[in-house]
Structure 1
Amino acid sequence: MHTPRRGQLAVICACSIVISTRLLAPALGDDEANPVAPRRPELPSLEKGSTLTNPIDRFLQTTYAAEKIDVERLVSDEVFARRVHEDLVGLLPTPTELQAFVADSHPDKRRRLVRKLLADRRAYAEHWLTFWNDALRNAFRGTGFIDDGRRQITGWLFAALYDNKPYDQFVHELISPVDGSAGFIKGIIWRGTVNASQRREMQAAQTISQVFLGTNIKCASCHDSFIDTWTLDDAYGLANVFADEPLETFECNKPNGEFATVKFIFPQLGKIDGTAPRDERIQQLADIMTSPQNGRLTRTIVNRLWAILMGRGLVEPVDEMDLPPWHADLLDWLAADLAQHDYDLQHTLELICTSRAYQLPSVGFPDPEETSYTFRGPLVKRMSGEQFLDAISSLTSVWQPVEPAMVQRDGRGQGGQLTDVALVLAERRRDQTPATARWIWNDAQAAQGTIGGSLFLRREFTLQAAPQTARVIAAGDNSFTLYVNGKQIARGENWQKPTVVDIQPHLRSGQNVFAVAAVNSADKDKQPEESSNSAGFLLSADIQMADGENVVIETDDSWLWSTQSPDKWETVEFDAQDWKPAVELADIDGGPWNIRVPLLAALIISDSQVRAAMVMDDALTRALGRSNREQVVTRRQSIATTLQALELTNGGTLDAVLKQGAENWLMQSEANSVAIIKGIYTQALGRAPTADEAALARALVGEKPSVESVQDLLWVVVMLPEFQLIE
């Protein structure tokens, strides 16, 4: 018996999945197959006395009438707020936000809430990063990060979402790469024996077709498709766009001696010059793909957005856009409307979320015995793994820990995603850098170059009381060691990656001192006195006092220096009367450093409540449905699994988070069981506990709540379907 290798499994599984879904669908005639050109149907006229103003509802008014759907009976404000928060930014509304929304008497408050959420650029980008990471196979680590095989696009992708980049430009830059987006078409270099249909050029053809056109050519990558019109020549023709040399076709992994010509799978949209250089061919492909005549591009993405928000696509499965939609006019109108509004995805999201269709009470999954789908309202959805973990974080105030690998990218290109995102935020918030510190040294020419060696710096200051919070950010060219009141607390080895450290525990009422041993490394090939390198040190300390006073200590000419380090030079007791004033070299934008962006990026990372979309995969995230991102995943399974149940009930990660969360609730509510119970229910479910729930919770928590009893309550609440489902 032949056992398929890993590279072949994807093809076999893809064929079986496509066959199983297509065989269940009605057959299409030639005139119905592969619709490409855009079409903008006329909006249906409103029935007399109708209050339906949203175009989506006008298309669905006949459905509402046929199914006897009362479009005036919408979900409550509480349900709507929770639904739209999770759908647009992936976070639970806080009790304060929910209370304010419910109390708002403005007649257009739901539209205003939708726009407010879409305007939260960071939360929006962090949430939608999960969907696009899955679809674009953007992994932070894993298979393929070797030999320049795989490459992250995290920074580019986050920036595109943060800026709400027009979708046609978004697609164009992924296909014909700009700085930061090249990883999408690079594919994975599989190791070992690999099926020809999984070579990198074919991966690019497959992913572009699936993600942007809702067309699965994986079967046709191995042989002429059994279930649609795509041929081996079609698949290889598109793959040839990305090839340095013409590709020989392989049928069922056997070479047949033929070479496919370069072409696009929808030739009616245009031709690609097969004689042009590779980069020009790719540019031509990107132009064709994003042409206004490509209605398939817009149909596919609006169908995906509808499926995410409503639980089921207008075309289902969403990767089989050759199948007939259950409402063709609505699909085509939404697609044309997206193009008309400059490919603004947030416009389409707002349109859907403000429709009566979206605000109807949710319904269960359709009866499997039904031969056709009938819309009766949005389907109940299970939170994604990332939404679930972020909801846990909101409930417990325990956000994802910052691991070194999330900050520092390794030699293979793995990790560093937090820094990628922080740099994007820093570039867009350059004017928000809090530091006005100056680079200092003992030589006025140090920015241009000075001899190598060590320099010792001090700055004394007085505090009226122990501070409430205190943080330092520092950078040194080439390196530094920081002491606070005689204790070493931080080191920095790379001025381009500033060091941020909490110094609150090390400060005290009265006299304090910062002491720094800074090093300008000498050229290894020269004597110290002959070596000349740029040198400088920069520090900014933000110290918050209990009374609200803000004390800022930054490097300037009030610092003192010496080239010697006598005994106890780093302590408060040391007498530095013979030390000399430092020389100011440049501000944070000056000298050879221009450190504003990395400085702000380091502060952003230290201040961030890290969301689940940003973390490395682990046992918990995988159990909750996180894909390995070796294959395109445009929709995750919504059904709970045995693996998920086992990890949630027995895994150590969630247990530790709930334990820390219990400790936080005890401190926050001063061990008051009534306040803890009400607070947990309000935060988790958006409502107070019922009388029965409150009685059971009091019995569980006890009159004198402990970490263990509050942890048990948290576990009970987060296991509730009401918590895990988006209704």
Structure 2
Amino acid sequence: MTPSPPLASRLIALLFLLLLGAETPGAAGQEVDPVSAAFDREIRPILEGRCLKCHGRGKYKGGLSLENRAALLRGGEGGPAAEPGDAAASLIVERITEPDPLLRMPANADPLPPDEVETLRAWIDRGMPWPDAVDFGFRRAPIAPRSPEIPPPPAGLPLDNPIDRFIARFLADRGVAIDWEPVSDRAFYRRASLDLVGLLPSPEDLDAFDRDRLPDKRDRLVARLLANRRSYADHWLTFWNDALRNEYRGTGFIDDGRSSITRWLYRALFENLPYDRFARELVSPVPGSGAEGFTKGIIWRGVVNASQTPPVQAAQNVSQVFLATNLKCASCHDSFVNHWTLDEAYALAAVFSEESLEIHRCDQPVGRIAEPGFIYPELGAIDPDAPRVDRMARLAELLTSPDNGRFARTIVNRLWAQLMGRGLVEPLDDLDREPWSQDLLDWLAADLVSHGYDLKHTLALIASSGAYQLPADHLDSPPSPGEPYSFRGPLVKRMTAEQFLDAFSTVTGSWPEPSGAMLKVDGRGQGGQLQAVRAAIAEAEGAAPAEGPRPARVEASWIWNHADALKDPGGTIFLRKVIRLDQVPDRALIAGTCDNELVLLVNGTPVARGSDWSRPVSADVTALLRPGENVIAAEATNWPDPARGRGVRTAAGPNPAAFIAWVGGFEGDAPSWGFGTDETWLWSSSDAEGWALPGFDDAGWQHAVSLPLAGRTYPGIDLSAALLEATGDAGGPIRAALAFSDPLSSALGRPSREQVVTRRDPVASTIQALELTNGEVLSGRLAEGAAFVLDRLGDDPDAIISDLFLRCFGRPPAPEEREISRGLLGDPAAPEGVEDLLWALLMLPEFQLIP
């Protein structure tokens, strides 16, 4: 492995990661009436500081709630707590002035000081004026949908997007003025591309967008990005995998204890399934549809708490994902964090239970059976005697009912947060909190419903708004729930793990290689995600699940430069095969592998590389072929030193060596010709100039030697399967969303998906800093990426610097940046220098942030 850059220099460049934080809003004050001002100044501090910890927010000692005026008048076990206009006759005054410390309130605490007692007396004597809007209990957001009227555009501002009009009115009502000047075209393209499809734009696309002078080019860009079904599905798969706990391997898969929904989910995203159908098919899945895994949950091994059983998991997950509310506390006892009760949580869980579900409080049975029901019974009932499948279908119907405004509000709030960095309601999983703009939230939800629950419509609406195109706002600390918020633009966001890794692959051209585990589901039900995606795309396009062009039989032999290749001393050989074509086929594919390291070339251009003989590499090479003479070539290396190897087979000293490859053409899906490795291939130990190009004089090269027994040494190699990686729409680059998790992606914030995750931690951690500083996974990726960069650009330092800056930042380097970069690269550029430059660019805030 290539040594990492010095630890100290990397730590300096990473300081920004440890300083990055989420944002805290500030807000202009609003006028309040005298009653509210007096209450907030005099009474609220006493109730909140001394009373509500025992008599509010889920705790009601003695049956007494002090959350609102009605509750105070109703009182508890001792009767009404207060008599408006008569403090002397009020029980609350009696209890706070009780001389016996065992009876005095607040219990087990210092008594109220005399001035606070007198403040309460005077307030009660005045009739207990209590503002209507003040309730110390848990807020319950309205359920019914609502479609506010779109405000007119403010004078002098040509704001056409309804979002902008709602925000303009919101700001005007608070006396806040903002400059509606948008960000530059290049900044907008980068932001929109990362937010909508998760990819950095190419320098060529940025230049073309910059040159476009039509006024609607930003709307057209948004539409074009969202129309790319593959890129959209690849990107949003991450969001939904987190929310739906869909993982490819890991905890819970043993003994059918967990099921992947990748095939169903990817097709739903690829087809842009209407969101109401999306939720219905997950909550009430059709057997065999592939959507069953969400409500199945995780069947944990070992001792399991009653609140972790699959029916209770289903209730928790459905309520969190689709209704933005938390039933986890209420799955053990009446909740202390919101208004849900144990009986309500178990009623929803009973919908999913095959058998009668006994209620447990703190894991102890209470002797009652839960009756199935929806947590919002005002929307309708569920027949408790109906079969489970019918109960789930009824639940899905109630969940997605047009009368359930909370369903649409939840998802538009999540989409807003994905693009804007902060939700209209925070936290995202507590929609009972006050939104900073109720009108905007309600209108967006109603607009989604009126457009057939089309999530792409809502994303396009947000991304096309002037609000989204404002310069990014970077606030100084995490937002505090309940604090007033004043919108000033989208917040600066950090790349997710998947965005970062895809950006690295885009910059270098080094994408993850497919593995057998990605293609095939193992005995535990793990893996197979890549094959699931292929099947999903084929189904969505109305095609059979066949994966495109494929030869009926791949004929190729293992070859090397001598017959005793099982005891090869190590080293590199160069191989070439000249083929002549009358015409270029519809499609041409190549695949190969080598013990240990391989670079495949077509007409002098590197097309694939590998360093593990058990994982053949492949590529679509149609664009590189031409009528007449073509050269298929390979740089094949056998490592003599096992310390260098990442492959499966290494040994000190002499060790096995072999190479196998096939290239073929197709007309439609039918094979038309093919050439596999055999004794007609030529080899040399010298890479003379032009050796991989047509017209090279190879008179001094020797014929390769066929190794008929090599199949025993390298069992299970199937070039046909490898060729599938280069076929069809599903054969493009493997995005990070489809890769298995590793230490790097975990450090960058990818969760284990054993719990629902609807927002990743926006704050960089020390573990992330260490992994980005000296992690083995990143070091390996840097080495691979540097090799790809050198293959593509050669060793000219200026060419490399210009290319990497354009790909990373969409701009050329400044003179000082070029000078520093040349110092890292050397002249000519060395592999280690390219690694160092790549690492330095990846660590810059300009790369990792989405402003």
The equivalent residue for 1:87 is 195
Alpha-carbon distance between aligned partners in 2 of 1:369 and 1:612, rounded to the nearest angstrom: 29
Cα root mean square deviation, aligned: 3.5
CA displacement at 1:402 relative to structure 2: 1.1
2:500 aligned residue? 388
Q: TM-score, normalised by structure 2?
A: 0.65
Task: Give the structure 2 partner of residue 586 of structure 1.
Answer: none
User: Does the aligned pair in 1 maintain the 2:548–2:728 contact within 8 Å?
Assistant: no
SS of 1:463's partner is strand
- Report the alpha carbon displacement of residue 693 of structure 1 after superposing the two structures with TM: 1.1
In the superposition, relative to structure 1, how do residues 712 and 239 fare at CA in structure 2: closer, same or farther (>3 Å)?
same
CA distance 1:162–1:606, shift in 2 (3 Å): closer
1:654 corresponding residue in structure 2:
778
Aligned to 1:352: 462
Note if 1:419 corresponds to 2:531.
yes
Give 3-state SS (helix, strand or coil) of 2:456's partner. helix
Deviations 1:70-124 (A, max 9, x none): 11x1111111011000000000000011111111111010000000000000000
User: Does the aligned pair in 2 maintain the 1:366–1:373 contact within 8 Å?
Assistant: no
Paired amino acid for 1:722: E
Q: Kindly tell me: are residues 191 and 138 of structure 1, through their superposed partners in 2, closer, same or farther at Cα, counting changes over 3 Å?
A: same
1:463 aligns with 2:573: no
- Cα–Cα, structure 1 residues 347 and 551, in superposed 2: closer, same or farther, change >3 Å? closer
Q: Which residue of 2 aligns with 1:198?
A: 308
1:160 maps to 2:272: no
Larger Rg: 2
Compute the displacement of 1:473 (Å): 9.2
Give me the whole-angstrom Cα distance separating, in 1, the residues matched to 2:479 and 2:418: 24
After TM superposition, give the deviation of residue 670 of structure 1 in Å.
2.5
The 3-state SS of whatever aligns with 1:228 is: coil
Q: Distance in 2 between matches of 1:291 and 1:253?
A: 34
Alignment-derived partner of residue 404 in structure 1: 516
Question: Matched residues, percent identical?
Answer: 51
Q: Give the SS at the match of 1:301.
A: helix
Q: For 2:749, what is the secondary structure of its paired residue? A: coil
Map of 1:329 onto structure 2: 439
For 1:722, the equivalent position in structure 2 comes to: 846
Alignment-derived partner of residue 119 in structure 1: 227
Contact 1:363–1:378 (CA under 8 A) maintained in structure 2:
yes
Residue 231 (1) aligns with residue 231 (2):
no
> Matches of 1:463 and 1:152 in 2, distance apart?
45
CA distance in 1 between counterparts of 2:162 and 2:722 reads 46
Q: Is the 8 A contact 2:618 2:722 kept in 1?
A: no
Amino acid at match of 1:296: R
Count of matched residue pairs = 592
- For the pair 1:611 / 2:723, whether they are aligned, the reply is no
Out of 356, 363, 366, the position equivalent to 1:246 is 356
Task: Output the amino acid matched with 1:70.
Answer: D
Aligned partner letter, 1:334: L
Match for residue 204 of structure 2? 96
1:48 matched residue in structure 2: 155
* Aligned ranges 1:253-264 → 2 under 5 Å: 253-264=363-374
Contact in 2 for aligned 1:396/1:664 (Cα 8 Å): yes
Structure 1 position 428, deviation (Å):
3.9
Q: Provide the rounded CA distance (Å) in 2 between the counterparts of 1:509 and 1:465.
A: 7
Match of 1:33 in 2: 140
Distance 1:351 1:290 in 2: 22
Q: Distance in 2 between matches of 1:286 and 1:158?
A: 21
Q: For residues 281 and 667 of structure 1, what CA distance do their matches in structure 2 show?
A: 60
1:63, 1:106 → 2: CA distance? 31
Who is 1:454 aligned against? none
C-alpha contact (below 8 Å) 2:508/2:786 kept by paired residues? yes
- Report the Cα distance in structure 1 between the residues aligned to 2:458 and 2:631, rounded to whole angstroms: 59
Give the structure 1 partner of residue 746 of structure 2: 622
Inter-partner Cα distance in structure 2 for 1:41 and 1:684:
43
The verdict on how the C-alpha distance between 1:334 and 1:314 changes in structure 2, with shifts beyond 3 A counting, is same
1:27–1:232: structure 2 CA closer, same or farther, 3 Å change rule? farther
**Structure 1 gaps, min length 5:** 1-18, 21-25, 441-460, 475-498, 513-540, 545-549, 560-569, 574-596
Normalised TM-score (structure 1)? 0.76
4+ residue segments displaced more than 6 Å: 436-440, 465-469, 499-504, 507-512, 550-553, 570-573, 597-602
Corresponding residue for 2:635?
none
1:60 maps to which residue? 167
Whole-angstrom CA distance in 2 between matches of 1:369 and 1:238: 32
Cα separation, 1, equivalents of 2:783 and 2:547: 36
Q: CA offset at residue 604 of structure 1?
A: 4.1
Letter in 1 for 2:507: L
Matched, 1:707 2:816: no
Aligned to 1:579: none
Contact 2:312 2:331 (C-alpha < 8 Å) held by counterparts: yes
Q: Aligned-pair distance for 1:368?
A: 6.0
Partner amino acid, structure 2, of 1:424 = A
Given that 1:338 and 1:344 are in contact with CA atoms closer than 8 Å, whether structure 2 keeps it comes out as yes
Aligned-partner SS, 2:254? coil
Per-residue CA distance 1:168-202 (angstroms, 9 max, x = gap): 00000000103110000001111121110111000
1:666 positional shift: 2.1
Structure 1 residue 553: deviation in Å?
11
* Deviation (angstroms), 1:598: 13
Alignment of 1:589-608 (within 5 A): 603-604=727-728, 607-608=731-732
Pairwise CA distance, 1:543: 3.7
Q: Who is 1:645 aligned against? A: 769
Inter-CA distance 214–82: structure 2 relative to 1 (3 Å threshold): same
Aligned counterparts, 1:294-693, within 5 A: 294-365=404-475, 371-429=483-541, 430=543, 435=549, 463-464=579-580, 471=589, 543=664, 603-604=727-728, 607-693=731-817
The secondary structure found in structure 1 opposite 2:360 is: strand
1:484-528 CA-partner distances (Å, limit 9, x unpaired): xxxxxxxxxxxxxxx996799xx998999xxxxxxxxxxxxxxxx
**1:635 and 1:511, CA in 2 relative to 1: closer, same or farther beyond 3 A?**
closer
Instruction: Give 1:551 shift.
Output: 8.6
Query: How far 1:652 sits from its partner (Å)?
Result: 1.5
1:69 aligns with 2:178: yes
Cα distance in 1 for residues equivalent to 2:455 and 2:494: 23
* Partner amino acid, structure 2, of 1:194: V
CA drift at 1:620: 1.0
Amino acid at match of 1:471: L
CA contact (8 A) 1:85 1:91 kept: yes
State the distance in 1 between where 2:723 and 2:400 align.
Answer: 38
1:124 aligned counterpart, secondary structure: helix
Q: CA 1:675–1:424 in structure 2 vs 1: closer, same or farther (change >3 Å)?
A: same
Q: Provide closer, same or farther for how the CA distance between residues 646 and 252 of structure 1 changes in structure 2, counting only shifts above 3 A.
A: same
What secondary structure, in the 3-state scheme, does the structure 1 residue paired with 2:256 have? coil
SS at match of 2:221: helix
**What amino acid is aligned across from residue 322 of structure 1 in structure 2?**
D
Judge conservation of contact 1:40–1:336 (CA < 8 Å) in 2.
yes
Displacement of 1:662 after TM fit? 1.7
User: What one-letter code is carried by the residue in structure 1 that aligns with 2:377?
Assistant: P
Alpha-carbon shift at residue 658 of structure 1 (Å): 1.5
Residues 511 and 572 in structure 1, CA contact (< 8 A), matched pair in contact too:
no
